[in-house]
């Protein structure tokens, strides 16, 4: 074989290996790449016998899946294998499961949509989730994480989202209503409680004429602004802000509510007491 032919063959092998490695290591990369999980679905696979167990285990390698629990081949009947499937693989993977008569459930179906309220003072995206089968339904708002230190509040919103999507006893509610759930309204403050000060409560905006930072976004609304229970002292944990909606986080929440004016059925603000 000539030197040129050998070089071309080597180049082809390198290209093929590079393509395969890029595909294979999507879920196993250890670099700083940002992976986008939009459109991914959580699937529960239920093999019923050893033959199906073997097939499911082979699928783990064929589709380079990340199984959240191991496949027990010998005597592992009635298992439940959890995995996340990316959009490009989903159709072929589900077809293979159907051809093999392997039962499965899509636990996070196409009933949920990620929404954005806009950006916080420190330019973080304030995200929410909209859940429901009918866009014409009345709306139930669930607001969490208004006070940064109340960690149980965002956790509750995330738990509630999962329950609405996976608990069949609650399916009637997402047929009747749209749920709009905002896990962390005060996202800047929430990050600050993890990096700097665990019991930080307010936003992280800079206040004119003082070194004190932030305002209480829960007391920054235009209804009964800066009245009983609020403070006009910028250093206070209950500081109501320079004016109604001076804090971008409360303003973004108000803008969202205005878009659904006339369709709101209920509004729940989830808070907690003390360091929970």
Half-sphere exposure of 147 (CA within 13 A, CB side): 23
Other C-beta atoms lying within 10 Å of the C-beta of residue 90: 16
pLDDT at residue 11 above 90? no
Distance CA 154, CA 193 (A): 13
Per-residue model confidence as pLDDT tens digits over 23-50: 444 455 556 677 777 778 889 999 998 8
Q: At 21, is the pLDDT very low, low, confident or very high (cuts 50, 70, 90)?
A: very low
Per-residue model confidence as pLDDT tens digits over 101-147: 999 888 766 678 889 999 999 999 999 999 987 778 899 999 999 99
How confident is the model over 239-255, as a mean pLDDT?
Answer: 97
pLDDT of residue 14: 43
pLDDT of residue 72: 82
CATH code, residues 110-276 = 3.40.630.10
CA distances from 165 to 14, 115, 209, 219 (A): 44, 16, 47, 32
pLDDT of residue 77: 67
Q: Which candidate, 41, 136, 143, 35, places its Cα nearest to that of 82?
A: 41
pLDDT of residue 13: 44
pLDDT of residue 15: 42
In this prediction, what percent of the chain has a pLDDT beyond 70?
Answer: 85
Is the CB of residue 258 less than 8 Å from the CB of residue 148? no
Other C-beta atoms lying within 10 Å of the C-beta of residue 85: 20
Q: At 262, is the pLDDT very low, low, confident or very high (cuts 50, 70, 90)?
A: very high
How confident is the model over 13-23, as a mean pLDDT?
Answer: 42
Mean predicted lDDT score pLDDT of the chain: 86
pLDDT at residue 9 above 60? no
Spans of all domains in the chain: 41-106, 110-276
- Class (C level, CATH) for 41-106: alpha beta
pLDDT at residue 265 above 90? yes
Per-residue model confidence as pLDDT tens digits over 139-196: 999 999 999 999 999 999 999 998 998 787 887 888 899 999 999 999 999 999 999 9
């Amino acid at each position: 074989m000539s030197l040129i032919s050998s070089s071309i063959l080597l180049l082809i092998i390198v290209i093929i290996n590079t393509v395969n490695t890029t595909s294979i290591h999507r879920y196993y990369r250890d670099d700083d790449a940002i992976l986008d999980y939009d459109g991914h679905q959580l699937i529960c696979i239920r093999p019923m016998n050893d033959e199906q167990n073997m097939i499911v285990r082979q699928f783990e390698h064929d589709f380079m899946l990340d199984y959240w629990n191991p496949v027990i081949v010998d005597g592992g009947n009635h298992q439940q294998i959890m995995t996340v499937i990316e959009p490009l693989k989903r159709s072929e993977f589900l077809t293979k499961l159907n051809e093999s008569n392997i039962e499965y459930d899509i636990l996070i179906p196409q009933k949920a949509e990620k929404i954005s309220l806009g950006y916080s003072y420190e330019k973080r995206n304030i995200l929410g989730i909209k859940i429901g089968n009918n866009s014409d339904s009345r709306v139930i708002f669930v607001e969490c994480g208004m006070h940064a230190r109340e960690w149980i509040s965002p956790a509750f919103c995330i738990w509630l989202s999962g329950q609405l999507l996976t608990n069949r006893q609650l399916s009637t509610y997402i047929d009747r209503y749209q749920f709009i759930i905002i896990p962390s309204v005060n996202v800047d403050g929430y990050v600050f409680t993890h990096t700097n000060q665990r019991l930080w409560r307010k936003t992280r905006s800079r206040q004119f004429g003082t070194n004190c930072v932030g305002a209480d976004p829960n007391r920054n609304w235009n209804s009964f602004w800066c009245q009983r229970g609020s403070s006009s002292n910028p250093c206070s944990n209950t500081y109501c802000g320079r004016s109604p909606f001076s804090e971008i986080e409360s303003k973004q929440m108000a803008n969202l509510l205005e878009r659904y004016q006339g369709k709101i059925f209920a509004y729940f603000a989830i808070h907690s007491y003390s360091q929970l």
